[in-house]
Structure 1
Amino acid sequence: MTDPLLTLDKISLKHLHQSLLIDVSLSLKPRQIMTIIGPNGAGKSTLIKIALGLTKPDQGTVFRQPGINIGYMPQRLTLNPLMPLSVERFLAMTRRGAKQIEAALERTGVNHLRKRPLNDISGGETQRVLLSRALLSNPNLLVLDEPAQGVDINGQTELYELINNLRDTLGCAVLMVSHDLHWVMAQTDTVICLNQHICCHGHPEHVSNDPAYLSLFGRRHAEAIALYQHDHDHQHDIHGDVICEHHHD
């Protein structure tokens, strides 16, 4: 059995006597895509910060596999519009070489933007540049906070397909926060529905029919999601793990 890259065990956090997270546990394995969903204020970004080590929980433990490389993509990039910063110079701030930068931009399909000013590219292009930056750490784990923020519908589909392809080609795991579950459904192995605590979790097909999920998002949203569920030649248990079938002669 493969050891988890990241484990959060019974994480709780309060701020000004308000509970942000309550007894949250998760375990992420290599090559697994895990998507965290939930309403605004559910604690999704807080959970990501704890996973990254940027915030310390009041209770619980965080385990990261020794030697793990984490690539982080934030929700958005805020820049002074008067700052003359090109895509290439922005990525060079990571202290990576020109060949590494070019390779990362090639992987995300935006190497042609290398010399363009950051404030002169589209929302979808900006997200791909941020994803390129995350790839420069040669990650075992990609942590993506709302990766399709500010991206149009067609761009969302392409971006989530790209993330899935990166998982396959790099062999990394992906921990992702998203509001757009119907777009990520075809690419996600495990869904965690969060509302301060974990309401339900498992493979998308199970979660989208869970009463806790339906109470948060409604059946209409679940039915829309069903349109995007992927066809596959294997089955999953309620936790999203693949069920191995044993054939007897």
Structure 2
Amino acid sequence: MNKIEEIYYEAKSDKWFRGFAMFCRIALAASFIPAGYVKIMGERFASGLPSNNPLGHYFDALHLTGYYYTFIGIGQIIIAILLLIPRTSLLGAMMYFPVILNICVLTYATRFNGTRIVTMMVLADLFLLIWDYDRLKHILPFKQIQTNTPVLEKPNKRLRILFFGGSIAVLAFIIFGTFYLYEIVPGNSEAECRNQCASGKKPAACQVFCDCIYNQGQPLDSCLANFDKSKDIRKSDMQ
């Protein structure tokens, strides 16, 4: 643990890491300000997403919750402001995490195309929480070890390469790995859903799925069941 803390304090004293932390704070705040403003104004979030889209169902229901919808918007604006103020950035990051984690699980559950961005937002907030470990460690349930803060004469270039190189590798994994996460997705529109059918292995079953989502307005689980059933019927016909 002592060695890990020494590495941590090396990163804290590096201007590249400080710049990256500032970038994460600004980027995360910028994502919540417009989202919160839309809710405070009483407008439907992601208005371009059709109501029959699985996530569209959720946004429609959320929009109809009255002052709870406004409350969420106010909360997002407050979190964004806290992130932008250095003295309150840790509180902002702590409040941000359960909100963005909930959104991340929601996007994966509904197979939303924005899962990549939301996953990056979760990782960025985790970085901010780790960045403020020196303030958080006093409430963590393990024995505190006194560590002398190292004074760096030169930046640790190896640490920079390992961190930022690893970050690029993780982002690449998220971007390309999610392409193979699901066999079929509803997309953000009916046209986007049907576009995947031509390049898919089961175009007929894909068309049934898209029709189930956008024309019949059925839940995602029901449409996935229809998709699997259509694949089985097609397979039996070929035999």
TM interval, short-chain normalised: under 0.3
Question: Larger helix proportion, structure 1 or 2?
Answer: 2
Task: Give the greater-gyration-radius structure (CA).
Answer: 2
Structure 2 length-normalised TM? 0.27
Larger strand percent:
1
Name the TM-score, length of structure 1 as normaliser: 0.26
